[in-house]
Structure 1
Amino acid sequence: MRIYLAFLKRATFLILIVLTTTIGNSQTRYEQKVFSDIKMKTYTYADTLKLDFYSIKKDTVTKKPLLILVHGGGFSGGKRDNPSEIKFCEDMAKRGYAVASISYRLVRKGNPLGFSCNCPADQKIETFVSVSKDILKATQFLIDKKDKLEFNPENIILIGSSAGAEAVLNTVFMKNEFSFKKLPYATIKYKGVISFAGAIVNANYITKNTAIPTMLFHGVKDNLVPYSTAPHHLCEEDKAGFIMLDGSLTIAEKLEQLDVAHTLVVDKSGTHNWASIPYSYTNLIAKFIKQNVLEKQNIQSTIKVKHKN
């Protein structure tokens, strides 16, 4: 009888493990926080540029999706390990994703022209290209370590805030534009992109060949990065920094024309504070990724919100 009870107890324990693993990996993983024990390791991916890699301790899934986060800061500031970035990365890692938060060259740091209307338009393009190059270098570094880091290189999603949002959108959609063509894309292909108050140089470069599932957060009254199509920082046409950018609304309209999955989250009274607010929208972001990237649904939607400061 003791042997039988011991066997029964062990069998029950093993069944519970299987059920727990099944629930964590199949039913709610990638959408809800089902893990609590995560780890982080810092790597140098190019020169002195570093990235922080977050994942679950003792994970049994070796082909998890990878999220790459690119911080904001006007290309002159910001950090990959600010509290909001850390909290976001930890939250998404607890849902079962591999997450990398990267640093990049802050090419406008210390430049007296800044990145507003005094910064010549050609320098703005050079800045965009520079950061896209770093994103691609970080991506290739991670891909080269895919077996060790246990993620699926065919399921990489870029996420960016403000300057980082401009960077990820340009990296994905502008690859066939002259200034971006020379970048080391190699065989890198992203499966999704998420923007917190971002814009691109020219939405006409969004085609059937470049379009991927896209999530866009933006405030209509953003006076730095345009919500639709307008000058960057609303610069006057006679200013050196005058350059037209296509924002979230224009991008969403283009994706709708191409019948590609996208979600536009818009606050009609929101400003550029929507560069940071979405860090708290992890439930919505995780749902978008799971449905439109991992399950390959083609959901096209606009979500109207009003954020209270």
Structure 2
Amino acid sequence: MRVLTIALFLFLGVYATAQTKTTYTYSIKGKDTLKLDVYTPENIKAGDKLPTLLWMHGGGFSVGSRDFKDDAELCQYAAQHGYIGISISYRLLRKGTKTGFGCDCTKEDKLEVFKQAAIDYLDAAAFVVSNSNQLHVDTKLLIAGGSSAGAEGTLNAVFMKEHFADNLEKYKQVQFAGMFSCAGAIVNAEYITKENAIPSVFYHGTEDNLVPFASAPHHFCDPEKPGYLFLDGAKVIVDKLEDFETSYYFNIVKGGKHEISRIPYEELDKVFNFFQRTMINDEVIQTTIIKTKS
């Protein structure tokens, strides 16, 4: 294992350089042309296939874009460190609506948004897998990731595919090897099983006022509100992973609110090191880091 680790560091070091960006259309749905930006190490060789981060931006399903500065820089970082970084667009179904995605948005509408976001994400993943040779993607080392709404979309796509997807056959070749969630939650953590549990990184604040840290109503809506819907946050998900002896890297910020959905650039070396050790080297690591909001 020591030799493998050293060899891997040397391999990834080859790609620690500039990257190129190429944009593809992965689906057209009504008036929405859904695209993804692929960031690739500039000196990659024909036939090379690399671990890949497939990223979904945040924005409450109403704002944001795949090429927003923060999301683009994350994917650039990935490409500079031996990965393919891919940032996707998806349907912003709450854009321009009167109720937004808060407590006045009905539970039924919220569940439909979660479903369609998960399907958009799975469609992007299916496109990446189908074109893996051209994109230099190692389909066995695909990391799902997102922040805020994007984290909700990816968590539901990864762990609740059987619930949300209408056509499972379409995604039979899609397999995820890792998860990277910044202030995300899942509709029902009971869908996480020993069979679908994967090494995961979580960042979440204990006082998140939009996406629950543990199990609580989305946006902490009162029971009489139309948008009263319970979600399971990072704490509940990590408890499941611990029970299944699955690797996790859990970053808790005591007193932190939804600002913890930001991409933790200052700790990306630790995030990617975790994926290297767990996805590629098959180590089992269960780490919880507790900080206090400054």
| TM-score > 0.5, shorter chain as reference | yes
Counterpart of 1:19?
none
Q: Secondary structure, in 3 states, of the residue corresponding to 1:85?
A: helix
Larger radius of gyration: 1
Cα deviation, residue 277, structure 1? 4.2
Q: How does 1:59-70 map to 2 (within 5 A)?
A: 59-60=44-45, 62-70=48-56
| 1:26 and 2:13 matched | no
Q: How does 1:133-212 map to 2 (within 5 A)?
A: 133-177=119-163, 179-180=164-165, 182=167, 184-212=170-198
Deviates more, 1:223-232 or 1:80-89: 80-89
Counterpart of 1:256?
242
Q: Secondary structure, in 3 states, of the residue corresponding to 2:100?
A: coil
Q: Distance in 2 between matches of 1:49 and 1:293?
A: 29
Q: Distance in 1 between matches of 2:267 and 2:21?
A: 22
Q: Distance in 2 between matches of 1:288 and 1:306?
A: 22
Task: Identify the match of residue 19 of structure 2 among 20, 23, 38.
Answer: 38
- Going from structure 1 to structure 2, the CA distance change for 1:29 and 1:274 (only over 3 Å counts) comes to farther
Structure 2 segments unaligned to the other structure (5+ residues): none
Task: Identify the match of residue 116 of structure 1 among 102, 109, 115.
Answer: 102
- Going from structure 1 to structure 2, the CA distance change for 1:286 and 1:28 (only over 3 Å counts) comes to farther
* TM-score, normalised with respect to structure 1: 0.87
Q: Secondary structure, in 3 states, of the residue corresponding to 2:24?
A: strand
Counterpart of 2:285?
299
Structure 1 segments unaligned to the other structure (5+ residues): 1-22
Post-superposition CA distance 1:189-229 (Å, at most 9, x none): 10111100000011111111211111110000101000000
Q: Secondary structure, in 3 states, of the residue corresponding to 2:162?
A: coil
- Going from structure 1 to structure 2, the CA distance change for 1:54 and 1:38 (only over 3 Å counts) comes to same
Q: Distance in 1 between matches of 2:258 and 2:157?
A: 21
* TM-score, normalised with respect to structure 2: 0.91
- Going from structure 1 to structure 2, the CA distance change for 1:82 and 1:195 (only over 3 Å counts) comes to same
Please give the root-mean-square deviation of Cα atoms over the aligned residues, in Å. 2.0
| 1:54 and 2:39 matched | yes
Q: Distance in 2 between matches of 1:266 and 1:182?
A: 36
- Going from structure 1 to structure 2, the CA distance change for 1:208 and 1:24 (only over 3 Å counts) comes to closer
